[in-house]
């Protein structure tokens, strides 16, 4: 089963038993592997990124894949950072980013993370909108991925290429240190949905790829990594599947072509903290919320929508915020009224940035940062399980606990 590679903050886990996930009718994030692939040529994936837990050797194979968008931004999967099932999220300070890495035994420089942005409509049950942007502390000079933009039509059966450091053998759980890649054909939505079960959830925010006969696939640990078309342009992010390279089952990928506007809006130089954490769903909480315009364009705040139970004061985020400046506002949150589910109490700031309208999506949540010793070894937080069970080695459990990386079980 493919599993979602989850970057946890388990930097001090000791003695974790191997885990066998329960049989489920739900999709699970991708497992850590490329199945049926080969060593990638050095230099073919210069924009490849490894997202890994801070303070842990990256060659342990723990983490998620991702791609470098340029400047300060990394594109990955939402399920690598947001554990809705457990009502927990990744701590940005416990994530390291390795841009342009090829051999895990010879890693590139570890780069610290400032924050990240998860799609506001990410759903861990359906895996819709399984996409996120990580913002680095500082700009980085490196080869960036080219994103396929609209208009674009996927061609049925045309080969796509996906890469990662996931397990290369589903039985032994052996993981490579050299980047692997595999070619898988695009599968149209109706054919994919005909596989039934979780595949009925595939919508415009995702697409399928793989062989009906099985044998080639991405999997856990490949979560968040890029899949590119024959022009070398990224068209998707590794998301989920049922099993790994199983006959009649396909890999499912977040559709970055369809979500291009969201990607642009969250990698354009506007910095803020998306999640404001309350201790519980009771009591009143106060937060100061800064928004910094690190871009070259003005940010024109046009309006804001707040959940019931949230009041605003001392608001300087009104009108034009010049490039290189910041504004802030205070919010007072009646948690009992405002926070009604694990996604929290939403706040949406609507603004014009350059020629585009963007939404700055925030939420007050009663979530906690994922802590190592609080992670139950028998409850790996995959968004939705696959149609069949699978086993996870000690190394993968530590991965999931040490990192925030998963890819849904296929």
Q: Which of 96, 130, 217, 366 is catalytic?
A: 130
Q: Is residue 283 part of a domain?
A: yes
Residues ≥6 apart with Cβ < 8 Å to 98: 49, 50, 51, 52, 58, 107, 108, 109, 110, 111
Residues 255 and 295 in one domain: no
Residues 355 and 275 in one domain: yes
pLDDT tens digits, 171-192: 776 778 899 999 999 999 999 9
- Rounded to an integer, the average pLDDT of 238-264 is 87
- φ, ψ of residue 66 in degrees (nearest 5): -170, 180
Model confidence at 400, pLDDT cuts 50, 70, 90, reads very low
Cis peptide before 143 (omega within 30 of 0): no
- Confirm whether 286 is a catalytic residue: no
- Confirm whether 266 is a catalytic residue: no
Q: Which of 79, 119, 266, 353 is catalytic?
A: 79
Q: Which of 24, 54, 223, 388 is catalytic?
A: 223
Boundaries of domain holding 215: 158-263
Residues 166 and 234 in one domain: yes
pLDDT the model gives residue 116: 98
Residues 171 and 244 in one domain: yes
Q: Which of 105, 136, 167 is the last residue of a domain?
A: 136
Q: Answer yes or no: is pLDDT of 34 > 70.
A: no
Residues 252 and 303 in one domain: no
pLDDT tens digits, 345-362: 999 999 999 999 999 999
Model confidence at 405, pLDDT cuts 50, 70, 90, reads very low
Higher pLDDT, 245 or 72: 72
Residues 166 and 206 in one domain: yes
Global pTM reads 0.84
- Confirm whether 130 is a catalytic residue: yes
Higher pLDDT, 326 or 55: 326
Residues 115 and 173 in one domain: no
pLDDT the model gives residue 222: 84
- Rounded to an integer, the average pLDDT of 252-267 is 97
pLDDT tens digits, 112-134: 999 999 999 999 999 999 999 99
- Rounded to an integer, the average pLDDT of 57-69 is 87
Residue 215 near residue 67 (C-beta atoms within 8 A): no
Residues 274 and 221 in one domain: no
Kindly report the three-state secondary structure assignment for every residue of 27-49: CEEEECCEECCEECCCCCCCCEE
- The lowest-confidence range among 30-34, 178-182, 264-268, 354-358 is 30-34
**How many domains does one find in the chain?**
3
CATH number at residue 331: 2.60.40.10
Q: Is residue 112 part of a domain?
A: yes
CATH number at residue 63: 2.40.10.10
Task: Tell me what the pLDDT averaged over the chain comes to.
Answer: 82
- The lowest-confidence range among 228-237, 337-346, 362-371 is 362-371
43 burial (CB, 10 Å; 0-12 / 13-18 / 19+) is: exposed
- The lowest-confidence range among 12-16, 75-79, 257-261 is 12-16
Question: Which of 266, 264, 250, 280 lies closest to 344 in space, CA to CA?
Answer: 280
């Amino acid at each position: 089963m493919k599993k979602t590679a989850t970057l946890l903050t388990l930097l001090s886990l000791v003695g974790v038993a191997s885990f066998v996930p329960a049989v489920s009718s739900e999709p699970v994030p991708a497992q850590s592997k490329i199945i049926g692939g080969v060593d990638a040529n050095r230099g073919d994936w210069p924009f490849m990124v490894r997202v890994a837990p801070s303070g842990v050797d990256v060659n342990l194979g723990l983490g998620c894949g991702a791609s470098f968008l340029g400047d300060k931004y990394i594109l990955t999967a939402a399920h690598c950072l947001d554990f809705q099932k457990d009502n927990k999220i990744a701590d940005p300070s416990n994530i390291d980013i390795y841009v342009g890495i090829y051999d895990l035994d010879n890693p590139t420089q570890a780069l610290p993370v400032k924050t990240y942005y998860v799609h506001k409509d990410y759903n861990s049950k359906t895996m819709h909108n399984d996409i996120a942007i990580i913002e680095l502390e500082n700009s980085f000079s490196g080869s960036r991925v080219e994103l396929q933009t609209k208009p674009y039509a996927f061609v049925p059966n045309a080969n796509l290429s996906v890469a990662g450091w996931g397990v290369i053998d589903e039985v032994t759980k052996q993981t490579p240190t050299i980047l692997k890649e595999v070619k898988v054909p695009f599968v149209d939505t109706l054919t994919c949905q005909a596989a039934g079960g979780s595949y009925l959830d595939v919508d415009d925010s995702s697409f399928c790829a793989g062989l009906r006969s099985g044998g080639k696939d991405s999997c856990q640990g490949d979560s968040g990594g890029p899949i590119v078309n024959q022009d070398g342009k990224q068209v998707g992010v590794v998301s989920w599947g049922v099993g790994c390279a199983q006959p009649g089952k396909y890999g499912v990928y977040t559709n970055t072509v369809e979500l291009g506007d969201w990607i642009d809006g969250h990698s354009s130089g506007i910095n803020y903290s998306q999640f404001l954490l309350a201790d519980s769903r009771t009591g009143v909480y106060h937060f100061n919320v800064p928004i910094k315009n690190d871009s070259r364009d003005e940010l024109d705040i046009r309006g804001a929508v707040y959940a019931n139970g949230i009041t605003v004061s001392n608001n300087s985020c009104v009108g034009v915020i010049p490039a290189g400046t910041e504004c802030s506002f205070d919010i007072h949150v009646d948690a009992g009224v405002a926070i009604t589910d694990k996604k929290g109490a939403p706040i949406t700031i609507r603004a014009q940035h350059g020629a585009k309208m963007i939404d700055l999506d925030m939420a007050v949540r009663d979530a906690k940062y994922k802590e190592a010793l609080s992670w139950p070894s028998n409850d790996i937080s995959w968004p939705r399980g696959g149609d069949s069970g699978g086993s996870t080695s000690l190394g993968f459990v530590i991965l999931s606990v040490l990192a925030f990386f998963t890819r849904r079980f296929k």
